[in-house]
Chain A
Amino acid sequence: MIFSESYHRFIDELKKNTGQDPNQCYQCAKCSAGCPVVAAMDLLPHQVIRYLQLGLLGELEESRTPWICASCFTCAARCPRDLDLARLMEGVRLAVLRLREGNRLSPADLELTPEQLEKLPAQALVSSFRKYAK
C-alpha cells in the first residue's frame, strides 16, 4: 500500500477518463450485493474500489474481476454515493490493457467450433473484442 507518484498519476487519469472518484465510496458494498456475476469474481466489486482507494494496483492488475464485470450497470443504478462503478471497471480494464500494451483476447484464442460460430450472435463477438482488446 504505497501511495506513490505512479499511483496518483494512475488515479488522476482514472478520474479524468471515467468522471468517477473512488474516494467517494464509503464501502457499503451494495454494488457487490446486487452484482449478477459476483459469484465468479475473485475480488468483490466493492473490494475493487477499496483497492483503488488503497492504491493496490498490482493486485487489481492480477484480478479477474474487471474482466468478469458484464457492464450491466446494476451497481451504478443503486449506488448511494452516486458512483458509476461500471465506468471505473472500464477504466481499470483500459489501464491494464494499455500497461501491457497488448490485447487480452485475439481471434486465435477463441476455441469455437464452426457450429458454435454459426449460432453465436455477431454482437457477442464484437462486444468481446471491444472489451478485451483495444
Chain B
Amino acid sequence: MAERRINNMEKIRTAVAQDLLSGRIDLLLGWEKGLYWWQSRPLFARNSEDLQRLTWDSFCVANLSGYLQEELKENKKIGILLKGCDSRALNRLVQDQMVDRERVVAYGLPCPGLLDPRLLKQEAGLELTALGIEEGEDRVTLTGTKGKSIAREELLLEKCRRCHHPDPVGCDQLLLPPVGSREDRSRFHQVTRLEEIPAEERFAYWSSQFERCLRCYACREACPCCSCRECFVEQEEPRWLGKAHENSENFIYHLTRAFHSAGRCVECGECQRVCPVELPLMELSSKIIKDINELYGEYQAGLDTEQDPPLLTYQPDDPAAFVE
C-alpha cells in the first residue's frame, strides 16, 4: 500500500508538473504536509520546487475549489486537484457563474475516504504525537499501540462515511483509477434521528449547539457555496444581524446560511470540519437536502451541471401545499 501510494504520488506529480512547467497552467492548487503527520494543508505551487512538496494522502481534507474565485483574479489559468466532493464544489461554482470553467484544469483524484485524526486518537488512546499509522487496503494499523488494526471505514471522517460519490465528476482528467460509487452508504441517518424527536427537544438541542457558536464565520469562509461578494452578515444597509453574542442572532446566522446553501451544498463537510467549537453543521445542510429530495425529487448538487437545481426550476406538479 505504502509503495502504491508513492507510485501514485509520482504519477500525480508527473501529470501536473508537465502542465505547470509548460505554462498550460499558472498555478496548481494541491496539498502539502503540514506541521504534523495528521495534517495536510493547501499548497499553491507555481514552480517545480513547490511541486516537490505536493502530497496526496489520507489527510488532504481541505476543499481547494474555494480558493479559485480569488486566485482567478490574478492567474490566467489554474490547475486544481479535486476529490469527489471537491469536484462537485467546482461544478457548483461554475453553475453559479463564479468560476470560468475554461480557465481551470481539473485533475480528479478518486478518493478512498479520508481519516479522522480525532478517531485515530480515540482508538489508540494515545496523543497523536505518540502515534503513527500504516495504511493497508481496507485496514489501518496504529503503530505505537500494540499493533491495533481497525477497518478503514470506521476511521473515516464523518463526511466521508456518508459520501456516495468518491470519484470526481466533470474533471479534465482522472489521475488515479476510479474507486466506484458508494450508494450503499446512508446519508441521512442523523437527520432522520433528529426528525424523530419532538420539536421542543429539537429546539433545545439546536439552542444548546448554537449557544456555543463564536460567529467566527470559519464555516462560511470554508464553504464553496458561500460565494457572495458581500455576505448578509456584514451588510449595514439593511443590517440583518447584530454583532453581540446573542443566541437568537446565532440562530438567524446558521439558519440563513443553511437556506442560502439550499440546492448548492455538495456535502463536502468543510463547514463542520473547520468549526472550532465542533458544531454539527452538516446536519442542517443534510436536513435541507433531504427535504428538497422529498419535495422535488432526488437531487445532488454539483453532480450533473446540465441539470437545473430544483429550487430554480418550476414543474407544474411541484408540491405547493404551502401556498394553497
**Is there a contact between chains A and B in the complex with CB atoms less than 8 Å apart?**
no
Q: Please list the residues of chain B having a beta carbon within 8 angstroms of any beta carbon in chain A.
A: none
Q: Please list the residues of chain A having a beta carbon within 8 angstroms of any beta carbon in chain B.
A: none
